[in-house]
Amino acid sequence: MMIDNVIHAAVVMTTPVLLAALGGLINRVGGLVNIGLDSMMLAGALFGLIVASMTGSWPVALLAAAAAGGVVGLAMSLAVTRLQANEIIVGLGFLVAVAGLVRFFLSSAYGSSGTLSLPDVARLPRIDIPFVADVPILGAILSGHDPLTWAAWAMVPITVWFLARTRLGLRLRAVGAAPQAARALGLNPLALRDLSTVYAGVMSGLAGAYLSIGVVGIFNEGITAGRGFIALAAFYFGRNRPWATATCALLFGFFDAFQIRMQGRGIPAELVQTLPYVMVIVVLTAVAVAGRRARARRP
Amino acid sequence: MQAAEEKPDPSIRLGARGVTRRFGPVLANDAIDFRARRGTVHAIVGGNGAGKSTLMRILQGVDRPDSGVILLDGAPASFAGPAEAFARGVGMVHQEFMLAPGLTLIENLILASEPADGFGRIDRAAALAKARELEALAGVSLDWDTPVEDAPVHVRQIVEILRLLYRGADVLILDEPTAVLAPAQVRELIALLRKLRDEGRTILFISHKLDEVLAVADEITVIRNGRVVDSLPRSSASREGLAEMMIGEVLARPEPRAATAGTPVLEVAGLSARDLRGHAALSGFDLTVRAGEIVGIAGVAGNGQDEIAASVTGLCRIDAGTIRLAGADIAGQTLAQRRSAGLAYLSPDRAAEGLCLAAPIAENAIAGHHRRPDLCSRGVLRRKAIARHVGDLLDRYSVKRASDRQPAGSLSGGNQQRVVVARELDGDPKLLVACQPTRGVDIRGIDFIHRCLLEYRDKGGAVLLVSEELEELVALSDRIVVVYGGRITGEVMRGSAGLEEIGRLMLGGRQG
């Protein structure tokens, strides 16, 4: 059924954005706006694929991707927190530098330009739920998805709980909102900020691996297609609230899935592929305008 | 100077011996000595630039002295940072509050020493029990789940004090704690401090408000120009004596003559406006200020006075009403149009709105006048004319400076405000909207700025004065309009009512 296919694809395309957005959300709560999420996704996608091919094990591949993203995150965080570099400039620098390094690595290690296809790549398994799988729509929503998708959605309430109820969550919020005050109380704002950026890197690395070993099974230097920026839009628009952020990620996933269905129907593919990005801008603008109107009406 | 070895006196909970701190050529602290005995309120009094903040930073471990030592329980001590000062029982309530926005009151209370289980989950019941205990101690009742930004200032201040107690501090350093409070709240604070003192805690009360110092302190140390002028018990201190020590001479209060109010300059009618968050702040507000008259607006912070000033100056949009300046409706005009129509404005936030701290004094002094033909021709600034103009202007206002080209941020608070006052009164405006004109200014600066306002009024200027300093309002205003919840609760003519009556109106009481 077509509608089931679109729903299934929407869930799939939401996962990478959701993972990166939840990481970026924690990072922003901790006081760093991470515009380099996309570079961490790219690193995770590449190392995830290589390790999946080497070991034949998807959990090990995910660990490798998380580590790759985390290392990029740590490097970026140290540049911002210890060298007092501007977070926007450093983020841009990492986007360009990681893309360049990836291309260099592909050509020098594999002699390939832009695309890497490896043998015996362990793909993420699908979890089929008996009976539910046969129910229309519900089956497409719940069944046939991989563990990382389930983990990503489980992280939404966990993130809510973590920020509101745990010591680390409270400290992270304090450090992001009032670093001076937190320091005066004996907290270490820079270390907490580094920790949150490493977490953002880990989550983005997983998001990247999801694209390479979950969705397509090969690596391409354009594999992230700017999803790190969509993630940025998601947590910005969700104002650091995990459920609102997830909704925004889902919105993108839906249009991404729709776009895939629209391909090959006479409209140029390049144009169709811009649809999810354009729609995210349109919807976010519309919601923001509606919100402003509602506020203006309130007495 | 050789630090004489003295026997540690444990009754001295916190003190300083020969603390000296130099910033470049400026000696901010010059051999400061003081001793705050356990279980007393010790006030440190001084004007702007007297060296109070530097001393506080040293006592907090944020800064280190070049020579001299902190005394803790009578013995020399040094703090690696604020965390260590905390660990040894010394905590501080800063002038700009240090609560984290976005967190609730209770989250701020427990921050950095949260009751939690082995998994890092916060034990909210334990936290609340502790909060209730502290609440009872302070004799207040708080809604602990309120986000910080929704709590009134005096509540935030209480939470800061309770946080120090929560963390086990028994030395409380309070930096200008009454600056943001209404008179009744000041009395509550003083009562709380006395209670804490009676329980054996030591309080260091930093202030330049002598009446409050005299009301709360057991001992008083006066500092001026980085040096201790004297340390004396409360019983032998007097207001005049302290003032003289603070500024080195006696200032006569300006004695304003009776106003001869003329034609209306500012006429506000039916004004409705909202605050930054979109809540109604003013509704149907009427106000008139005449030439040769100073009209003061009294109110606890957040009762609409900021919106009155912002509506008149054009910094906020209004929902309804008319605002006339010298007869012409300016409600729809831009800020620039209002300024050229004769409006001048002293912003309450000098650092953000009053000045560009990074820019030279000269540029700050002509900002807003930069279109005047004598300063600018065909869009090109006339540097020589500006230099001459600024030099004269700043000399007239006795701005202490090394050069007109130094950044405004390098001036002391009092001198910064003189630059703003000089600029705003330059060019004979019709109306001056003066918000917190002496906030963060020392006694001498306050006196000077008050004289400027009175002189301007006597020349026929109209002043709308918004101030949290009741004494200032009473000293300067010909009329005081009291606002509460965006409405006028009363109007008091010069000399007809005391501080108590105004304070009652400020808290919502009706005029009897």
What is the average pLDDT across B297-317? 88
CB contact under 8 A, A171 and B112: yes
The minimal CB distance from B120 to the residues A166, A174, A177 is found for A166
Mean pLDDT value across residues A110-122:
89
pLDDT at B425 exceeding the cut of 50 = yes
Contact status of B136 with chain A (Cβ, < 8 Å): no
| Domain boundaries B3-247, CATH class | alpha beta
Among A164-168, A271-275, B118-122, B485-489, top mean pLDDT goes to A164-168
- Residue type for position B50: A
Contacting residues of A for B83, CB less than 8 Å apart: 185-186
Amino acid at A91: G
- CATH for B251-342+429-512, options being 3.40.50.300, 3.10.290.10, 3.90.550.10, 1.10.1060.10: 3.40.50.300
Could you give the C-alpha distances from B291 to A294, B435, B463, in angstroms and in order?
A: 42, 18, 8
B26 lies within 8 A of chain A by CB: no
With an 8 Å Cβ cutoff, are A166 and B278 in contact? Answer: no
For residues A165, A166, A168 and A170, what is the CA-based torsion angle, rounded to 10 degrees? Answer: 30
User: What does the pLDDT read at residue A15?
Assistant: 96
Residue in B with minimal Cα distance to A176: B100
Sign of CA dihedral B96, B100, B106, B109: negative
Q: What is the ipTM of this complex?
A: 0.84
Taking the C-alpha atoms of residue B65 and residue B18, their distance in angstroms, rounded to an integer, is 9
Report, as an integer, the average pLDDT of A261-268: 81
Quote the strand ranges of B137-195, DSSP E. Answer: 171-175
Q: Does B376 touch chain A (CB under 8 A)?
A: no
Count CB neighbours of B497 within 10 A.
18
Taking residues B203-220, what's their average pLDDT? 90
Q: What is the pTM for the complete model shown?
A: 0.76
Q: Is B115 on the interface with A (CB under 8 A)?
A: no
The one-letter amino acid code at A298 reads R
Confidence of residue B254 (pLDDT cuts 50, 70, 90): low
B-interface mutation test, from A160, A163, A170, A175, most B Cβ less than 10 A away: A170
CA angle B247, B252, B254 (to 5 degrees): 120
Mean pLDDT of A132-151: 89
* Chain A: closest CA distance from residue B477 (Å): 34
Q: Chain A: nearest CA to B305, how far in angstroms? A: 19
Q: Residue range A172-186: average pLDDT?
A: 90
Residue B125 has pLDDT above 90, yes or no: yes
Q: CA–CA distance from A270 to each of A99, A264, A275 (Å)?
A: 21, 11, 9
Which of B284-288, B435-439, B502-506 has the lowest average pLDDT? B502-506
Q: Which of residues 47-86 of B touch A (CB under 8 A)?
A: 60, 81-83, 86
**Which of B60, B82, B100 lies nearest to residue A178, judging by beta carbons?**
B100
The residue-averaged pLDDT of A177-204 equals 93
Tell me the backbone φ, ψ of residue B256, rounded to 5 degrees: -70, 140
**Chain centroid to CA A146:** 16
Which among B366, B310, B308, B314 has a CA at the least distance from the CA of B337?
A: B314
Spatial separation of the C-alpha atoms in residues B305 and B486, rounded to whole Å: 8
Taking an 8 Å cut-off on Cβ atoms, the answer to whether B112 and A180 are in contact is no
Q: Is B111 on the interface with A (CB under 8 A)?
A: yes
Mark yes or no for CB contact B100/A298 under 8 Å.
no
* C-alpha span between B44 and A251 (Å, rounded): 60
Kindly report the average pLDDT of chain B as a whole number: 87
Q: Which of B195-204, B255-264, B344-353 has the lowest average pLDDT? A: B255-264
The band of B51, judged by pLDDT with boundaries at 50, 70 and 90, is: confident
B169 φ/ψ angles, rounded to the nearest 5 degrees = -75, 140
C-alpha B377/C-alpha A235 separation (Å) is 49
Length of chain A: 299
What pLDDT, on the 0 to 100 scale, is given for residue B3? Answer: 47
Query: What are the DSSP calls for A111-169, one per residue?
Result: --SSEE--TTPPPPPPBPPTTGGGSTTHHHHHSSB-HHHHHHHHHHHHHHHHHHHBHHH
Number of structural domains, chain A?
A: 1
From CA B379, how far away is CA B373, in angstroms rounded? 9
- Which of B:310-369 have CB within 8 Å of A? none
With CB atoms and an 8 Å threshold, state whether A171 touches B83: no
In Å, what is the CA distance from B512 to each residue of A166, A270, B418, B491, B509?
Answer: 53, 76, 40, 11, 9
CA distances from A113 to A98, A108, B36 (A): 15, 9, 74
Rounded CA gap, A151 and B381, in Å?
A: 63
Shortest distance between the Cα of B114 and any Cα of chain A, in A, equals 7
> Which of A48-57, A165-174, B452-461, B470-479 shows the lowest per-residue confidence on average (mean pLDDT)?
B470-479
B98 contacts A181? CB cut-off 8 A = yes
Work out the number of other CB atoms within 10 angstroms of the CB of residue A107.
12
Is pLDDT at B35 greater than 70 in this prediction? yes
Taking the CA of residue B101 and the nearest CA in chain A, the distance in Å comes to: 6
Question: Distances from the Cα of B459 to the Cαs of B87, B255, B344, B452, in angstroms?
Answer: 58, 16, 15, 11
Nearest to B100 among A182, A296, A298 (CB): A182
pLDDT at B283 over 90: no
Contact A175, A193 (CB under 8 A): yes
B122 touches chain A (CB under 8 A): yes
Is 70 exceeded by the pLDDT of residue A1?
Answer: no
Say if B128 is an interface residue toward chain A (CB within 8 Å).
Answer: no
Structure-token match 């003295």, residue found: B6
CA terminus-to-terminus distance, chain B: 63
pLDDT confidence tier of residue B80, bands split at 50, 70 and 90: confident
Going by C-alpha positions, the residue among B411, B466, B68, B512 that lies closest to residue B295 is: B466
CA distance B124 to B120: 12
Whether residue A111 is predicted with pLDDT greater than 80 in this model: the reply is yes
| Residue B181 pLDDT class (50, 70, 90 cuts) | confident
> Which CATH number is A240's domain given?
1.10.3470
Closest-CA distance, B469 to chain A, in angstroms, reads: 27
Q: From the centroid of its chain, how far is CA A99?
A: 17
B24 min Cα distance to partner chain A (Å): 25
Residue B327 CB coordination number (10 Å): 9
Integer Cα distance of A80 and A28 in angstroms: 13
In contact, B18 and B415? CB cutoff 8 Å: no
Tokens linked to B465: 């004065």
Sign, Cα dihedral of A154, A158, A159, A160:
positive
Rounded to whole angstroms, the Cα distance separating A124 from A8 reads 15
On chain B, the residues whose CB falls within 8 A of the CB of A171 are 111-112
How far apart are alpha carbons A176 and B19 in whole angstroms?
Answer: 35
Calpha distance A182→A188 (Å, rounded): 7
Edge-to-edge strand list for the sheet holding B487-493: B343-346, B431-435, B462-466, B293-298, B479-484, B487-493
Residue with tokens 């008050």: B450
A119 Cβ contact partners less than 8 Å away, ≥ 6 residues apart: A53
d(CA A253, CA A259): 10
Check if B99 contacts A (Cβ < 8 Å): yes
DSSP of B101-137, one letter per residue?
A: TTSBHHHHHHTTS--B-TTSBB-HHHHHHHHHHHHHH
| A174: chain B residues, CB-CB within 8 Å | 100, 103, 107-108, 111-112
Q: Which of A167, A174, A182 sits opposite B122 (nearest CB)?
A: A167
Nearest to A176 by CA among B80, B85, B111: B111
Greatest extent of chain A over all pairs of C-alpha atoms, in Å? 66
Q: Shortest Cα distance from B486 to chain A (angstroms)?
A: 14
* A interface test, pick of B88, B111, B144, B283 with most A CB neighbours within 10 Å: B111
Question: pLDDT (tens digit, 9 = 90+) per residue, A82-96?
Answer: 998 999 999 999 999
- Residues in B closer than 8 angstroms to A299, CB to CB, are 280
* Tokens read off for B28: 């901010």
Mean pLDDT taken over chain A: 92
Question: What mean pLDDT do residues A241-257 have?
Answer: 93
Structure tokens at A65: 């991707």
Rounded distance between C-alpha atoms, residue A234 and residue A76, angstroms: 21
How high is the pLDDT of residue B251? 52
Token pair in block for residue A282: 């349109």
| Domain chopping of chain B, boundaries | 3-247, 251-342+429-512, 355-427
Considering only B42-51, B128-137, B146-155, B160-169, which range has the smallest mean pLDDT? B42-51
Q: What residues make up the domain containing A122?
A: 2-297
For position B257, what pLDDT does the model report? 61
Chain B residues within an 8 Å CB radius of A165: 121-122, 124
Dihedral sign (CA B467, B468, B473, B476): negative
